[in-house]
Amino acid sequence: MEASHAHAHDDHHHAPTGLARYFTTTNHKDIGSMYMWFSLIMFFVGGFMALVIRAELFQPGIQIVNPDVFNQLTTIHALVMIFGAVMPAFVGFANWQIPLMVGASDMAFARMNNWSFWLMPPAATLLVGSFLVPGGAAGSGWTLYPPLSIQGGISVDMTILAVHIMGASSIMGSINIITTILNMRAPGMTLMRMPMFVWTWLITAYLLIAVMPVLAGAVTMLLTDRHFGTHFFNAAGGGDPTMFMHIFWFFGHPEVYIMILPAFGIISHIIPTFARKQLFGYSSMVYATASIALLSFIVWGHHMFTVGMPAAGNLFFMYATMLIAVPTGVKVFNWIATMWRGSITFETPMLFAVGFVSLFTIGGFSGLVLAVTPVDITLHNTYYVVAHFHYVLFSGAIFSIMGGAYYWLPKWTGHMYDETLGKLHFWLTAISFNITFFPQHFLGLAGMPRRIPDYAPQFTEFNQISSIGAFLLGFSQLLFLYVVIKCIRGGAKAEAKAWEGAEGLEWTVPSPAPYHTFETPPQFH
């Protein structure tokens, strides 16, 4: 609470206090914090749905939810986690960190920034609230493939509207981020001297601007097919359900990189800090990020190998997808070379970073397996794919978010978090994560389809292990919440430069970062 007093003194503009402060704020730090809290709440909401799913899958048969509700849970779990938890968390980091890292006083369009955030709660309400309407939530899977999504009730329209709103929010956020980065850097900070997190977000923001309108187009066509007699995706009217898949995945694959590039950025700060050694291969990191982003536009077909594309199509998408593993590998090699002959310590952020490098790479391996068309055909829509994307999204994106939160919490709150509890949180998370998701590789290889509420008896054991792991994993996250709250309320005083090996402009301002920073641009060396 002392911290907020300090803020009030710094504030020369007599901003409103209490709740009104948050409704009207244009301050990047307030907005960043709101994004982070929003994301954490959504993480728990989506996590709750996941636990219901895992409870149902603990044994064969239908015990807890009926198959309709099961499908709704998998659909909304995914949408909530992608659009509600992972993406807003990275936007929260962007808000807090980009101005601090480039030495800007705030984001370029401060009012639009407020609007970008405040679009999110209504969208989330539509999404989660759709469980309450007649017929329940959308149950077509997060990919919303027609004709199944055409069959759904009003909840599908609510989902479409939510996607539109969140897309608008993302686009506004991206415009803000790009403008801030390109125009508001401290004198001396050339593009090729920008912090890695800023680079990855710059590229991510361009990806968002490129593909969110594509998704908006796809769901709008879905909406008009549903209500206004168009037949974009209806073969009987001259349309084609496959076209939806192409458009969706043209968005969808860049989207998965939208969820991982900022993570690469965060990890590229944590590892040098705790290895006390400069990031290895800065420029190849930038080029690798850019080539991943470019390649991500030409690989979408790897989600559609079982559609029955011509051989040439399958081959093209197979080669392109394999190619994307090369720059991804370069990143991993660079991180390891950064550790090499460093002076390494294992504070919680570093543990999450090492966890990230190890486990994300396993996700990369399974990605490579899935990139090979014939193998994908036998694994498509099985639990193998579920394992793959949780390795890249949970032990990738979410590990980086948690590591990043521990890393910058001292700067945000002015206190050091509880290191023992932080480490405990890491180990509980890393171990239960693997218990949950590693066996799903075996389930997928054995042929268990995804999105089924009930399964054949030979899949029982691995499902039980997975469910037990999931409950451990879920409840371990309460510890994270506790550590964060404890850190906000007090703890050892954080220095301006909270970590011995930390580099960058954000560590030149006091901790907690005052409400207004860099009102006169710093000189960057």
Partner 1 sequence: MKKLRVLAGALASAVPALALAGYDVNIPAPKTPISLQIYGLHMEIMYVCLAIFVVVFGVMFYSLFAHRKSRGAVAAHFHENTTVEVIWTLIPFLILAVIAFPATKTVLAMKDASNPDMTIKVTAYQWKWQYDYLNDGLKLYATLSTPREQIGAPDAHGKVTNEHYLLETDNNVVVPVGKKIRLLITANDVIHGWYVPQLGVNQYGIPGFIKDAWFQANEPGVYRGQCSQICGKEHGYMPIVVEAKSAEDYAAWVKEQKAKQAADAAPAEKVSLADPVVR
From the CB of 113, what's the least distance to partner 1, in Å?
34
Q: Is 106 a catalytic residue?
A: yes
DSSP state of 68: H
C-alpha angle with apex 246: 83 to 440, nearest 5 degrees? 60
Q: Kindly name the residue from 56, 157, 225, 255 that is annotated as catalytic.
A: 255
| Contact status, residue 220 vs residue 157, Cβ threshold 8 Å | no
What length is written for the chain?
525
What is the closest distance, in whole angstroms, from the C-beta atom of residue 449 to Cu ion in the complex? 8
* Chosen from partner 1, Cu ion, ligand HEM, none, partner binding at 393 (C-beta under 5 to 8 Å by type): ligand HEM
The span of 35-43, 58-66, 204-212, 321-329 binding ligand HEM (CB under 6 A) equals 321-329
Pick the binder of partner 1 from 67, 188, 490, 510 (CB under 8 A). 67
Which lies closer to partner 1 via its Cβ, residue 32 or residue 367? Answer: 367
Q: Is 227 annotated as catalytic?
A: no
Question: Do residues 350 and 364 make contact, with C-beta atoms less than 8 angstroms apart?
Answer: no
Rounded to whole angstroms, the Cα distance separating 285 from 334 reads 8
Strand partners, 493: 415
Angstrom distance (rounded) from CA 216 to CA 71: 23
Which of 342/474 has CB closer to partner 1? 342
Active-site residue flag, 54: no
The DSSP secondary structure of 303-340, one letter per residue, reads: G-GGG---HHHHHHHHHHHHHHHHHHHHHHHHHHHHHT
Whether residue 30 lies in the annotated active site: no
Report whether 55 contacts 64 (CB < 8 A): yes
Taking contact as CB under 8 A, which single stretch among the options 15-23, 189-197, 311-319, 477-485 is the one that binds partner 1? 311-319
62 is a contact residue toward partner 1 (CB under 8 A): yes
The nearer residue to ligand HEM, 433 or 518, going by C-beta atoms, is: 433
Cβ of 95: how many Cβ atoms within 10 Å? 29
DSSP 16: -
For the bound state, the minimum distance from the C-beta of residue 151 to Cu ion, rounded and expressed in Å, comes to 13
Torsion of CA 345, 350, 353, 355, to 10 degrees: 80
Q: Tell which positions 102-141 bind partner 1, by CB under 8 A.
A: 139-141
Coil, strand or helix: which one is 449? Answer: strand
Among residues 125, 120, 118, the alpha carbon closest in space to that of 26 is found at: 118
Q: Which stretch binds ligand HEM (CB under 6 A): 12-20, 227-235, 349-357, 381-389?
A: 381-389
- Is 376 within 8 Å of 305 (Cβ atoms)? yes
User: Catalytic site residue 450?
Assistant: yes
Phi-psi region of 345 (alpha: psi -120 to 50; beta: other; left: phi over 0): beta
Give me the least distance between CB of 141 and ligand HEM, in Å please: 7
Vertex 87 angle, CA 292 and 365, to 5°: 45
Which residues 338-357 are close enough to bind partner 1 by CB under 8 A?
338-346, 354, 357
Closest residue to Cu ion in the complex (CB): 253
Regarding 293 and contact with ligand HEM (CB under 6 A), the answer is no
Q: For partner 1, which residue of 25, 113, 289, 314 counts as binding (CB under 8 A)?
A: 314
Report, in Å, the least distance between residue 86 CB and partner 1. 22
- We find the least distance from the C-beta atom of residue 187 to ligand HEM, in angstroms, to be 35
Kindly identify the residues of this chain, within the stretch 248-267, that bind Cu ion according to CB under 5 A.
253
H or E segment and range at residue 181: helix 154-183
Q: Which residues 229-288 are close enough to bind ligand HEM by CB under 6 A? A: 256, 259-260
Whether residue 253 lies in the annotated active site: yes
Tell whether residue 332 is a contact of ligand HEM (CB under 6 A).
Answer: no
Q: Is 73 in the site for ligand HEM (CB under 6 A)?
A: no
77 in active site: yes
Binders of ligand HEM in range 397-456 (CB under 6 A) = 397
Closest CB 220 distance from ligand HEM, rounded Å: 21
- Burial label for 431, CB within 10 Å (0-12, 13-18, 19+), is middle
Token pair, residue 265, equals: 């950025």
Determine if 388 is a binding residue for Cu ion (CB under 5 A).
no
DSSP state letters, 384-422? HHHHHHHHHIIIIIIHHHHHHHHHHHHHHHSB---HHHH
347 is a catalytic site residue: no
Q: Residue 378 is encoded by which pair of tokens? A: 């036998």
- From 154, 182, 456, 492, residue interacting with partner 1 (rule: CB under 8 A): 456
C-alpha–C-alpha distance, residues 73 and 51, integer Å: 10
Residue 396 touches which of ligand HEM, Cu ion, partner 1, none (Cβ within 5-8 Å per kind): ligand HEM
Catalytic residues: 77, 106, 142, 169-170, 253, 255, 257, 268, 302-303, 328, 331, 450
Residues forming contacts to Cu ion in the complex (CB under 5 A) are 253
Residues forming contacts to ligand HEM in the complex (CB under 6 A) are 143, 256, 259-260, 302-303, 321, 324-325, 328, 364, 367-368, 370-371, 376, 380, 385, 388-389, 392-393, 396-397
